[in-house]
Structure 1
Amino acid sequence: MFRYIVRRILITIPLLIVGSFLVFALVQGMGDPLGEWKLQQPRSPEEIAAAYERAGYNEPFFERYVTWVGGFVQGDWGTTIIPGSGVRDVQEEVMHGLWTTFRLVVGAEILALLIGMAVGVIGAVRQYSIFDYAATGAAFALFSMPVFCIGLMLKSAAIPFNDFLESIGMDRWITTAGPPPGGFSGSFGHQITQYIGTFLLPTLALLAIQFAFYSRFQRASMLDILGQDYVRTAQAKGLSSARVVFRHAFRNGLIPVITVFAVNFGTVMGGAVITETVFNWSGMGKLLIRSIYDKEPYMVLGVVMVTAVIVVIANLIADILYARLDPRIRLA
């Protein structure tokens, strides 16, 4: 197992290098990164030349790439000019966006996985039952709806609910526009209430789509496993239905779902752009869109590389789980 992990890490290093080079090359076509800065107020030629020199934009392409890679590995991801905020550190901005997205995504992904697996297993065991038809219909309905549509529906339902709470003398509970700027305050119980009210709507929006995804994969995987010879043998031996399902079928049926979860989690951590926009969260998605719009190459590179590393780590963890879930898989 140790040798397998080391080998996988060594394989991903050249992949990340090639990916970083391609992204770096594409980012160079975004336009002049200091164009907006030069238009904000009159700049002297000396000031403009100093800004390009300080940012390293006047160096040759390969020299800039090598400089950026060396700095990225050492923790120096460069600086960026944010309108109205001045010069900001790229690593600080990306880590702030990553933490915001992580808080937004991790709860929704875990809940969606657990609920989706449970619904998928029950739907496979009770195939063509009323529950199976209802779960299938709900999954297809949610899967076909855009995320922004679900988000707007949730916000539309939350506003009159908050109005009702206010009419009976209570505070407005459900937040529809991101976490409070100053953070949560008050007693521990009040902070927990604020936390739930803040995360409730975006979590439900992400959960609805991801639940539909995982439940369909789990159901299809379980139906395939339940038809295998070793499952029928276990049933013929007189084992209970629960033991056959959870001891012999469920573990093997998790493998495709774990694969999808690993890839999906890494991708969503790169930014739930629509959800962050609807609920006004300043996470990785909004940071990436803003960076592209403002032509900030180092910020775009930071977001993309962090996302790539997360995807690699998530896939590595999924590969390790394969051997734990199915002893027939060997990682030699």
Structure 2
Amino acid sequence: MATFVIRRLIASVFVLLAATYLMYNLVALSGDPLEELRQSTAPNKEQLIESRTRLLNLDVPPPLRYFIWFGALLRGDFGVTIEGRSVNALLEQALGSTLQLVTISTIVAIFLGLIVGITTALRQYSGYDYSVTFVSFLFFSLPIFWVAVLLKQFVAIGFNDFLQSQSQLPLVAVAIIALVSGALWASIIPGSTKRKAITFAIALAATAGILTVMNLTNWFSYPALTIGGVAIMGIGAAFGFTALITGLKNRRALIAALIVAGLGIALYYPFQFSLSFYVTEWWMLLGLAVLTAIVSGAIGWFAGGVDRGPVIRVAIFTGITTAFVIALDRFMMVWDDYASSGRIRGRPIATIGASTPNLEGSLWVEGVDIYTHLLLPTLALILISFATYTRYSRASLLEVLNQDYIRTARAKGLSERTVVVRHAFRNALIPIATIVAFDIGGIVGGAVITERVFGWTGMGQLFQNGLEDVDPNPVMAFFVVVGGLAILFNLIADLVYAALDPRIRVN
């Protein structure tokens, strides 16, 4: 394993060297960085030209100037921009902003894409499968800038107008959403026509009831989950993760998950009205998440008996989900304060930028502000990536389900959950690992257009400004980061292959 990793890293270094040499020369030879000064009418024009020439070593030919840049890179210095600003400082700020954007969108797209792709494979040729296929190809064919414009118009501007005008869904909208929900669940749940009709009626009634309650409580202006919503989602997570990972027949796993959910519900009021006021930094919130995982794992360990591994996983997933819902409800509590503040003026969904300038407030207000600015660009990236993950995961699982060992597992009398989760799903992830590795490695570079549309100050702006100014240093900083991530995640993909399939050996 170590030999393989070292060999791949050495080969990757030579590839990156050749790529950076070519890229540096293409940028340097694409224009004249002194053109602006040559056309200037300033009395000290000659001094300015000489100063910039010395600053950027413009008196050295680009093929040789690359080695000056590379020598500085070995010391961890990306150089300075054409205006004399440190590229390291700009890169640190831009990379943090872009990673904040792409990390959330990538995780959500992978999670939703895998779930939807797997369910469509299990419900092949159903109405649900055809609908998801149509939507996936639709978003896959749309350009990202067009999706971004549509989101700005109908999600941001439309929702902000909705909050200011009425903040309650009209009855026609409630009826349409309820009918769509009923049809969706009826297409997902397998069975006879009678069972589908019952599913349709239950989903329609439940959706209509929830939306009616939201209208009556003015939920869109004052959102909240309350302890009732936390209890429903926590207990639902306990049953859901138990059914998925071990099956409901495993009483130890179900009891451990219910204990974890019950503990979260019991801590709801102490956290919301006491402990949350002491959480003033993001690392504190992250620390609480780690503590939740540790406590949940300990409960699973004590309740697990002989086979502790699956029980611990069920308990941890349930604990993290319950804690997330509690934290989400805490953010919802400050929504009205945020939306009605002088900086927001009743239009909370932002269409440009990464944050609201000069906004003051607690960690929870800051979190809501980050959410409102992340919403549109994250949705744009999710919709495009979601289509890819859905199609690949569906095709991969269908291929695995037709293998001989799957038929053997079913012939042995194993339950369908065991066949799909323990035998098919793991092997279906092998080709998906390649797609995920390529996407994660390249998504920092792929978010350039999205950042441009939404005015996001990140890696895209650093790259574009460098190209416009014929300034190789910021362009190369962008290129090194994107290339390094691509190499790293392709190496990780190779290692994941060996972890997913014992037949694959990394040597």
Deviation at 1:234, TM superposition (A): 1.0
Deviation at 1:65, TM superposition (A): 1.7
| Offset from partner CA, 1:142-170 (integer Å, 9 cap, x none) | 11112122211111121132233345784
- After superposition, the Cα gap between the structure-2 partners of 1:253 and 1:25, relative to the gap in structure 1 and judged at 3 Å, is same
Q: Which moved more, 1:62-71 or 1:250-259?
A: 62-71
Matches within 5 A, 1:163-182: 163-166=161-164, 170=340, 171-180=346-355, 182=357
Match of 1:270 among 445, 464, 477: 445
- After superposition, the Cα gap between the structure-2 partners of 1:64 and 1:331, relative to the gap in structure 1 and judged at 3 Å, is same
Specify the alignment match of 1:213 in structure 2.
Answer: 388
CA contact (8 A) 1:36 1:294 kept: no
- After superposition, the Cα gap between the structure-2 partners of 1:125 and 1:237, relative to the gap in structure 1 and judged at 3 Å, is same
TM-score, with structure 1 as normaliser: 0.93
Matches within 5 A, 1:217-232: 217-232=392-407
Specify the alignment match of 1:31 in structure 2.
Answer: 31
Tell me if 1:147 matches 2:144: yes
Specify the alignment match of 2:108 in structure 1.
Answer: 111
SS, match of residue 308 in structure 1: helix
Tell me if 1:314 matches 2:489: yes
Matches within 5 A, 1:65-144: 65-81=66-82, 86-144=83-141
CA contact (8 A) 1:225 1:253 kept: yes
| Offset from partner CA, 1:160-193 (integer Å, 9 cap, x none) | 3223334578432111111236476302222222
Gaps of 5+ in 2: 167-338, 341-345
- After superposition, the Cα gap between the structure-2 partners of 1:46 and 1:175, relative to the gap in structure 1 and judged at 3 Å, is closer
Specify the alignment match of 1:233 in structure 2.
Answer: 408
Deviation at 1:322, TM superposition (A): 1.0
Distance 2:367 2:15 in 1: 42
Distance 1:4 1:183 in 2: 51
Distance 2:137 2:47 in 1: 60
Specify the alignment match of 1:253 in structure 2.
Answer: 428
Q: Which moved more, 1:179-188 or 1:8-17?
A: 179-188
- After superposition, the Cα gap between the structure-2 partners of 1:25 and 1:238, relative to the gap in structure 1 and judged at 3 Å, is same
| Offset from partner CA, 1:204-233 (integer Å, 9 cap, x none) | 111011000110011111111111111111
Tell me if 1:2 matches 2:2: yes
CA contact (8 A) 2:355 2:370 kept: no
Deviation at 1:319, TM superposition (A): 1.3
Specify the alignment match of 1:53 in structure 2.
Answer: 54
- After superposition, the Cα gap between the structure-2 partners of 1:95 and 1:270, relative to the gap in structure 1 and judged at 3 Å, is farther
- After superposition, the Cα gap between the structure-2 partners of 1:199 and 1:61, relative to the gap in structure 1 and judged at 3 Å, is closer
Amino acid at match of 1:310: L
CA contact (8 A) 1:68 1:77 kept: yes
SS, match of residue 84 in structure 2: strand
Specify the alignment match of 1:195 in structure 2.
Answer: 370
Deviation at 1:273, TM superposition (A): 2.0
Distance 1:184 1:260 in 2: 39
Higher alpha-carbon Rg: 2
CA contact (8 A) 2:105 2:379 kept: yes
Distance 1:198 1:46 in 2: 44
| Offset from partner CA, 1:84-124 (integer Å, 9 cap, x none) | xx421112222222211111111011100110011111111
Distance 2:441 2:406 in 1: 33
- After superposition, the Cα gap between the structure-2 partners of 1:184 and 1:102, relative to the gap in structure 1 and judged at 3 Å, is farther
Distance 2:430 2:360 in 1: 42
SS, match of residue 178 in structure 1: coil
SS, match of residue 309 in structure 1: helix
Deviation at 1:61, TM superposition (A): 3.9
CA contact (8 A) 1:56 1:64 kept: yes
Distance 2:41 2:86 in 1: 22
Specify the alignment match of 1:294 in structure 2.
Answer: 469
- After superposition, the Cα gap between the structure-2 partners of 1:90 and 1:63, relative to the gap in structure 1 and judged at 3 Å, is same
SS, match of residue 211 in structure 1: helix
Amino acid at match of 1:187: S
Gaps of 5+ in 1: none
Specify the alignment match of 2:153 in structure 1.
Answer: 156
Specify the alignment match of 1:16 in structure 2.
Answer: 16
